[in-house]
């Protein structure tokens, strides 16, 4: 569904007429941040008094287009469970920590994580259009700009000096939270670094706020003289609709290879039918499954964890039902390793 939000027209955030796409920044601001409002939209008001005080310390945030893909009246909806605060988040579970993957130990420069050979990862932005309850980000109150601060100066300097880096990964937060003008600053800087031949973007925005892939962004991506990979993040087939398909098509038209990473989440996608449907739906949108991550052991997320033996059994099951190219790699991130670790 493409929403020309009436709110966007009232505030006159751009010159578009009523039939044009709403501006993505306006849709970003229109996201639901109040639990009562979210439950009201879904006919689930009765759940309100079961939820934790103060959203268990991590704000609720969901774009309206994503809410529109949830099933009305279903408290077990797989999209809702990814965003709804739960009292289970208040439990202190041994082994579940604040910095689960040791990111703080691999900072190479402001906003740069350089752990793996050949590729450097930029924490381009600390913002996201959606707050996913299982995310490590719940414990990092990032500023709005990370590597992007000061025209990307420190990040680009690190990359310029290390000729072993041929792939730059924009991650976050969500790097597409940045304006296209900010991304242009980066591509101008990269033009002077010939050893970088590939740009990879890790983003959930084409799924949760597909309007972000607007004309200006598509043109920027298409004009980049680099190989382009966009790694989406979807966990369930229901996250896709025609607006997401359209965003994926635009990314492919701009020359990007599209991959997806998912997190294996108890109650959301931990059954063979859901994982099979996800792979099939990804492929229908022109996206190949890449990684299926075992949950990072982040405090407040233990209720989402799936045991390794169960995860392996699920992979065995979907392998018998899908072509090999639609079976994601089951991995876990372990601090200090030279790559993601196969489970």
Ligand X SMILES: *Cc1c(COP(=O)(O)O)cnc(C)c1O
Dist CA 148 CA 32 (whole Å):
27
* Spatial contact of 165 and 159, defined as CB atoms under 8 Å apart: yes
Residue 200 found at the interface with ligand SF4 (CB under 6 A): no
162-191 binders of ligand X (CB under 6 A)? 169
Q: Please give the structure tokens belonging to residue 85.
A: 């605060």
Residue 137 found at the interface with ligand SF4 (CB under 6 A): yes
Nearer to ligand X, 228 or 340 (CB): 340
Q: Please give the structure tokens belonging to residue 193.
A: 């670094």
Q: Which does 77 bind (CB under 5 to 8 A by kind): ligand SF4, ligand X, none?
A: none
Q: Which of 120, 130, 146, 147 binds ligand SF4 (CB under 6 A)?
A: 130
Task: Select the span of 60-68, 112-120, 188-196, 216-224 touching ligand X (CB under 6 A).
Answer: 112-120
Q: Please give the structure tokens belonging to residue 103.
A: 């990111």
- Least Å distance between CB 281 and ligand X? 22
Dist CA 188 CA 204 (whole Å):
24
Q: Classify burial at 303, counting beta carbons within 10 Å of its beta carbon; exposed 0-12, middle 13-18, buried 19 or more.
A: middle
* Spatial contact of 156 and 123, defined as CB atoms under 8 Å apart: no
132 is in an annotated binding site: yes
- Least Å distance between CB 261 and ligand SF4? 10
Q: Rg of the chain's alpha carbons, rounded to an integer?
A: 20
Helix locations, 116-179, DSSP H: 149-161
Q: Which does 339 bind (CB under 5 to 8 A by kind): ligand X, ligand SF4, none?
A: ligand X
Q: Which does 340 bind (CB under 5 to 8 A by kind): ligand X, ligand SF4, none?
A: ligand X
Task: Select the span of 3-11, 171-179, 193-201, 333-341 touching ligand SF4 (CB under 6 A).
Answer: 171-179
Binding-site residue total for ligand X (CB under 6 A)? 8
Residue 146 found at the interface with ligand SF4 (CB under 6 A): no
For 67-85, letters b (16+ CB in 10 Å) and e give bebbeeeeeebbbbbbbbb
Q: Which of 109, 121, 248, 263 binds ligand X (CB under 6 A)?
A: 121
Q: Which does 78 bind (CB under 5 to 8 A by kind): ligand SF4, ligand X, none?
A: none
* Spatial contact of 190 and 226, defined as CB atoms under 8 Å apart: yes
Q: Please give the structure tokens belonging to residue 9.
A: 């027209």
Residue 339 found at the interface with ligand X (CB under 6 A): yes
What letter does residue 298 receive in the DSSP assignment? B
Binding-site residue total for ligand SF4 (CB under 6 A)? 11
Q: Which does 233 bind (CB under 5 to 8 A by kind): ligand X, ligand SF4, none?
A: ligand SF4
What letter does residue 97 receive in the DSSP assignment? B
Nearer to ligand X, 74 or 103 (CB): 103
Q: Which does 148 bind (CB under 5 to 8 A by kind): ligand X, ligand SF4, none?
A: none
248 is in an annotated binding site: no
Dist CA 41 CA 327 (whole Å):
35
Interacting residue ranges for ligand X, rule: CB under 6 A: 113, 115-116, 119, 121, 169, 339-340
């Amino acid at each position: 569904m493409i929403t020309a939000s009436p709110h966007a027209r009232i505030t006159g955030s751009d010159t578009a007429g009523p039939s044009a796409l709403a501006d993505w920044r306006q849709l970003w601001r229109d996201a639901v941040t109040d639990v009562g409002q979210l439950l009201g939209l879904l006919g689930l008001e009765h759940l309100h008094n079961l939820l934790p005080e103060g959203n268990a310390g991590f704000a609720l945030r969901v774009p309206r287009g994503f809410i529109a893909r949830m099933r009305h009246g279903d408290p077990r909806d797989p999209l809702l469970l990814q965003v709804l605060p739960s009292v289970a988040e208040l439990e202190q579970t041994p082994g579940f920590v604040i910095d689960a993957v040791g990111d703080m130990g691999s900072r190479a420069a402001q906003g740069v994580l350089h752990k793996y050979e050949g590729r450097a990862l930029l924490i381009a932005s600390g913002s996201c259009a959606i707050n996913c309850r299982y995310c490590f980000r719940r414990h990092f109150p990032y500023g709005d700009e990370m590597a992007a601060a000061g025209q990307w100066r420190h990040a680009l300097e690190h990359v310029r000096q290390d000729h072993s880096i041929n792939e730059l990964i924009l991650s976050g937060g969500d790097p597409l939270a940045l304006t296209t003008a900010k991304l242009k600053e980066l591509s101008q800087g990269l033009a002077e670094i010939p050893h970088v031949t590939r740009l990879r973007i890790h983003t959930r925005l084409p799924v949760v706020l597909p309007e972000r892939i607007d004309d200006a962004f598509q043109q920027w991506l298409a004009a980049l003289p680099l190989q382009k990979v966009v790694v989406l993040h979807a966990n369930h087939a229901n996250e896709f609709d025609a607006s997401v398909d359209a965003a994926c098509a635009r990314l492919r038209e701009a020359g990007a290879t599209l991959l997806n990473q998912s997190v294996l989440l108890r109650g959301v996608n931990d059954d063979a039918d859901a994982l099979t449907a996800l792979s099939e739906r990804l492929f229908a949108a022109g996206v190949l499954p890449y990684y299926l991550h075992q949950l990072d052991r982040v405090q407040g997320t233990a209720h989402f964890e799936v045991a390794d033996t169960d995860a392996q059994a699920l992979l065995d099951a979907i392998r018998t039902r899908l072509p090999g190219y639609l079976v994601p790699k089951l991995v876990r991130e372990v601090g200090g390793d030279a790559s993601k670790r196969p489970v």
